[in-house]
């Protein structure tokens, strides 16, 4: 598939889960393609980084489900902050980050909810009054029937994830230190699209890589697209690390004036993926001088 063919599968109002974690291994080429599209009123489900910031700044998000939005080395995401402080995202669901995983598990297992402690006593349950608790049917050691959070399934229409390698059928491996939750995203979704640094033949997936790194099976995947440097400017270890200089420039523009942001957008975001990558290469050369 191509990036545009993936985006053509999306429609207004969809619930889209975005894999990775904060500023790590995000399907940024697909996110950038959504920015360029006419898509609107999206529900975005993400342990958020610049994916959330960019989509929020572009006014694509009607509802946001998150536990945090952070760039790590820059703790607060300026575009996300701006959107929240100006109230431009109509519906907000802030969860504990473990609840988020449990919600994906529930959706992946086709359950309405799963119980856990996280959320109890916190304002997560106050600000999301629709999230209920459930009493354990079993008495604990003190004879109490514990009241637990009934974490609702985070059912997705579409999951977008980025991994290091896949074959053309959708079997995909991560080569970095952490699988994150990309297998849960694809199983929680009706349709899943995987972008990768490189498409290889099936035998190539395990030729020098432990089989345990095969995180995603083709039966969970509806399309694969090769997007070299497609997670930029987030990490895609070991293919590349986070582009800290670029991230700094992004955050400065996002936190600056409207003109600063317009200039950043014009330089990097308004063209297609190949012009983005060319602009990034030019930026890197500039920075190295």
Partner 1 sequence: MTEYSRAEVCAAAIADAFKDDGEIFASPMGMLPMLGVRLAKLTSNPDLVISDGESLYLGGVPPLFAKADVVEGWIPFRRVFDVVAYGKRHVMMGATQVDRHGNQNISAIGDFAQPKRQLLGSRGAPGNTVNNRTSYWVPRHSPKVFVEQVDIVSGVGPARAKAAGPGASKYNDIHRIVSNLGVFDVRGDGDTVRLLSVHPGVSVDDVVAATGFALAVDADVPVTREPTESELMIIRNVLDPKNLRDREVPPVDAGATQ
Binding site for partner 1 (CB under 8 A): 21, 48, 66-70, 75-76, 80-81, 84-87, 92, 94-99, 101, 116-124, 126-127, 133, 136, 140, 142, 144, 146-148, 177-181
Q: How far is the CB of 21 from partner 1 (least distance, A)?
A: 6
State the minimum distance, in angstroms, from the CB of residue 174 to partner 1.
10
Nearer to partner 1 among residue 118 and residue 225 (C-beta): 118
Please, are residues 271 and 263 in contact by the beta-carbon 8 Å criterion? no
- Kindly report the backbone phi and psi dihedral angles of residue 243, in degrees, each rounded to the nearest multiple of 5, phi listed first: -85, 90
Q: Which residues make Cβ contacts (< 8 Å) with residue 80, sequence separation at least 6?
A: 48, 52, 53, 56, 69
Distance separating alpha carbons of residues 208 and 156, to the nearest angstrom: 34
Which residue's CB is nearer to partner 1, number 117 or number 169?
117
CA contacts within 13 A on the Cβ side of 250? 27
Q: How far is the CB of 178 from partner 1 (least distance, A)?
A: 4
The residue among 12 and 144 lying less far from partner 1, judged by its C-beta, is: 144
Tell the smallest beta-carbon distance from residue 82 to partner 1 (Å): 8
The distance of closest approach from Cβ of residue 107 to partner 1 in the complex, given in angstroms and rounded to an integer, is 15
CA distance 16 to 257: 29
Nearer to partner 1, 101 or 195 (CB): 101
Question: Least Å distance between CB 117 and partner 1?
Answer: 4
Select 212 or 274, whichever has its Cβ closest to partner 1. Answer: 212
Closer to partner 1 by CB, 180 or 250: give it. 180
């Amino acid at each position: 598939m191509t990036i545009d063919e993936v985006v053509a599968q999306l429609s207004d109002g969809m619930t889209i889960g975005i894999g990775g974690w904060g500023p790590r291994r995000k399907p940024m080429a697909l996110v950038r393609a959504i920015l360029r599209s006419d898509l609107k009123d999206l529900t975005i489900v993400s342990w958020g980084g610049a994916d959330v910031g960019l989509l929020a700044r572009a006014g694509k998000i009607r509802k946001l489900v998150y536990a945090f939005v952070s760039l790590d080395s820059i703790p607060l995401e300026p575009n996300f902050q701006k959107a929240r402080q100006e109230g431009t995202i109509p519906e907000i669901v802030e969860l504990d980050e473990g609840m988020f995983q449990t919600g994906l598990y529930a959706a992946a297992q086709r359950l309405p909810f799963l119980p856990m402690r996280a959320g109890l006593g916190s304002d997560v349950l106050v600000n999301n009054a629709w999230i209920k608790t459930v009493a354990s049917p079993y008495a604990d050691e003190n004879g109490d029937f514990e009241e637990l959070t009934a974490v609702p399934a985070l059912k997705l229409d579409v999951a977008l994830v980025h991994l290091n390698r896949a074959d053309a059928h959708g079997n995909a491996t991560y080569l970095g230190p952490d699988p994150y939750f990309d297998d849960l995203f694809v199983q929680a979704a009706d349709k899943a699209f995987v972008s990768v640094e490189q498409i290889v033949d099936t035998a190539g997936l395990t030729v020098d890589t432990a089989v345990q790194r095969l995180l995603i099976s083709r039966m969970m995947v509806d399309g694969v697209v090769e997007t070299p440097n497609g997670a930029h400017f987030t990490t895609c270890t070991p293919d590349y690390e986070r582009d800290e200089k670029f991230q700094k420039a992004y955050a400065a523009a996002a936190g600056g004036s409207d003109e600063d942001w317009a200039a950043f957008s014009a330089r990097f975001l308004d063209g297609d993926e190949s012009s983005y990558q060319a602009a990034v290469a030019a930026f890197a050369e500039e920075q190295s001088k």
